[in-house]
Structure 1
Amino acid sequence: MYIRKILLAIVFIGLGVAAYFAYFVYSAMFTPNTAFNNEQAYILIPTGADYNEVREQLEPLLIDIDKFDALAERKKYTANVKPGRYIIKKDMNNNDIINSIRSNNVPVRVAFNNQASLEKLAGRISNQIEVDSASLYNAMVNPEFLSEKGLSEATALQIYVPNSYEVFWNTSAEGFVNKMHKEYERFWNNSRTKKAEGIGLSKDEVMTLASIVHEESKKRDEQPRIAGVYMNRLRIGMALQADPTLKFAAYKLPKYKNTIIKRVLNVHKEIESPYNTYKNAGLPPGLITMPDISAIDAVLNYEKHKYLYFAADAKRLGYHKFAKTLAQHNINARAYQRYLSAQGINR
């Protein structure tokens, strides 16, 4: 009888322990454990991070971090941390949270506008994903990558078309530049490719000319007309004489470092550079900036006319006056020069 009571007591104690353990497991796995009021929260897990770093980010977001620890250990997540950007939704339980941060790496939408150089682009991107700007820049100018893609340092900027793109936050520098090259190939669809062939320009040449058009005018309604002027000049073998290319050449010289050229002067036209389109016929070796899609399409759909010249319009700032003859152009140009002088802009 006594032994029977002991056995019954052991059984009841065992059932109690089992019940408690079952409750603990159920509570740890299936009870909502979020402590924030927003609909969702994100955590960023760096490459090479361990569980302690993940835990540090999770602790302010959870009601009971200890129960999360216990389940994470049981599900072997503590030894299998993966980098990325992960979402935690309001009222998620620990089991769902672990499943989410284990396998649901959520992409970010990276956006960039007209960056004047690869260095500036790398800086802009590094603020949006994990990789640092130096690594990005090195990947952008990597000779092996450029050679494989048929690019050079002069044309490397062209594969980065201003837009927004989905990438994983922990994407590597090499992964990012390869992603952008694929997006560039997608941008050059059959329609754009046929248009480039139809106007007698390669993709590289379209992008280079578009960068000049973009620097000449940000007015979308005027860009096709400006593109038409340059196409007319190319067709007859006339030098492009594009002032933005002179500025680009000047800014590469120590003399003009950290300066802003507001007025192109004759001294700038004497700069020895393949980007000096007053001295060199045809297009420069590559882009002078990152052009908008509007400027690229303006080249592909340039306005057909007989204009060979244009000058900034002092009465409609941002727009230009167009001319078919040099005599008329000189009149337009002098009017704008008088405006600049009146504003005290001498260089």
Structure 2
Amino acid sequence: MRIKPKSPREAIQPEVAPAPPARSRHVRNPIVILINLVITVAVLTLLGGGAALYFGKQAFEEPGPLGSDSTVLISSGAGLSGITERLQAQNVIEDGIVDELLFNLGVRFYKNATRLQAGEYAFEAGVSMKDVMEALVSGKAVVHQVTIPEGWTTAQILQRVRSHPVLVGEITELPKEGDLLPETYAFTRGTTRQNIIDQMKAAQAKVLAAAWERRAPNLPVETPEDLVILASIVEKETAKADERPRIAGVFVNRLEKGMRLQSDPTILYGLYGGEAWLQDRSAIKQSELKKENAYNTYQIDALPPGPIGNPGRASLEAVANPSRTKDLYFVADGTGGHIFAETYEQHQANVAKWRKLEKEQREKEKAATPAPSN
């Protein structure tokens, strides 16, 4: 085959490129076009959703706008929107449509929309939306307390419960003297006063049943009610825990010998009831000592007709298992405790010492008091 020579002009001319191949009929098919579009949209959606999830999760977990520790009250039945509104009003969550939407979506993403609980919650400064959500889901609300001292009368207890600023509602069932256990009771906001009283009654019944079950044999108390009565007297006689079993032992010894208990607090209760210790009564008048009343253990034999207060756990256990001594008397020693005696003669000597201490104390107080200026 002979090659036809090209002229110089033809040699420098570019060759014509071949025509592109014909487009496939499958590519031009509407179904293929639709599939490509769907795949493209899906990829873009996944990329956009992933980016939104990533940045949304970061915003959900980053510190919030709360500037200092604060408590927030979430009402029952508020719902997710109501809770969000409350959190924004308290500046726990930024006040804006974006943060509102972010918190709502975050709670729903974690499937907690119906698990948020009402209550009073304490949040630290800078708390994140996620931590807020977890707190509301856990239900770990702020815990309040009411403390009832041992030996308080029911009147004193009712006064404290009624005056507590967090408790709600009225006390509808008044408890009897000796039915309540003095302790510290924890509760959350919204707890009713009657509920606290019911807790005290249930606790006292449980402690009394245990003490009665473990009582020493042959005690001169015939019923659990008698044990409460004697424990209430022990409670009023001493505030020192280590003395309670010994004072209980004194009263048990006197009951076994048929002696009167001769406990001063029973006089006050018999005259003034549970109101006796709502006022300052540090001493008993001679007229009160001689005045007849059903509780005065200087006048009556054995136990009074009912408790003179609400004894605590330690006093109930002290009466159930008193110290085994021969003591029949005790008197204050001037230091908050008591001196015990087996005989009346020993007791009289102890009383003389106590009266001397009292006199010296009064003289010191008188000397320390500045004279009135003219």
TM-score (norm 2): 0.64
Higher mean C-alpha deviation, range 293-302 or range 333-342? 333-342
CA–CA distance in structure 1, aligned partners of residues 117 and 264 of structure 2? 51
Within the candidate set 180, 191, 199, 2:219 is matched to 199
- Kindly report the root-mean-square deviation, in angstroms, between the aligned alpha carbons of the 2 structures: 4.7
1:105-142 CA deviation, whole Å, 9 max, x = no partner?
4583746241523454356557889423x62x434x1x
1:320 to 314, 326, 338: 338
Q: CA deviation at 1:77?
A: 8.1
Instruction: Tell me the matched-pair count.
Output: 323
CA contact (8 A) 2:118 2:139 kept: no
* C-alpha distance in 1 between matches for 2:317 and 2:294: 25
**Equivalences for residues 284-303 of structure 1 within 5 A:** 284-303=304-323
Distance 1:221 1:34, change over 3 A: same
- In 1, Cα distance between the equivalents of 2:340 and 2:40? 97
Deviations 1:167-217 (A, max 9, x none): 554434444344344433443465652316652533332233222212211
The aligned counterpart of 1:232 is 253
The equivalent residue for 2:149 is 114
1:276 pairs with one of 296, 300, 320: 296
| Superposition pairs of residues 247-286 of structure 1, within 5 angstroms | 247-252=268-273, 259-286=279-306
TM-aligned CA deviation for residue 74 of structure 1: 9.0
Q: Deviations over 1:61-87 (max 9, x none)?
A: 345752325656899988987432446
Match of 1:208 in 2: 229
Contact 2:230 2:303 in 1 (8 A): yes
Query: Unaligned stretches of 5+ in structure 1?
Result: 142-151
| Partner SS state of residue 213, structure 1 | helix
Percentage identity across paired residues of the two chains:
23
Match of 1:98 among 125, 128, 133: 133
2:92 is aligned, of 58, 61, 79, to: 61
TM-score by length of 1: 0.69
The answer on 1:45 being equivalent to 2:74 is yes
SS in 2 for 1:278: coil
Conserved? CA contact 1:129–1:169, under 8 Å: no
Which structure has the larger Rg over C-alpha atoms?
Answer: 2
TM-superposed deviation, 1:269: 1.5
Determine the C-alpha separation between the residues in 2 that align with 1:117 and 1:320: 23
CA distances 1:81-112 after superposition (whole Å, capped 9, x unpaired): 74324466898764664354145345837462
CA separation of 1:74 and 1:175: change in aligned 2, threshold 3 A: farther
Cα deviation digits, residues 28-74 of structure 1 (max 9, x gap): 56631443899x97644355767657744564334575232565689
For structure 2, the residue ranges without an aligned partner over 5 or more in a row are: 1-27, 364-374
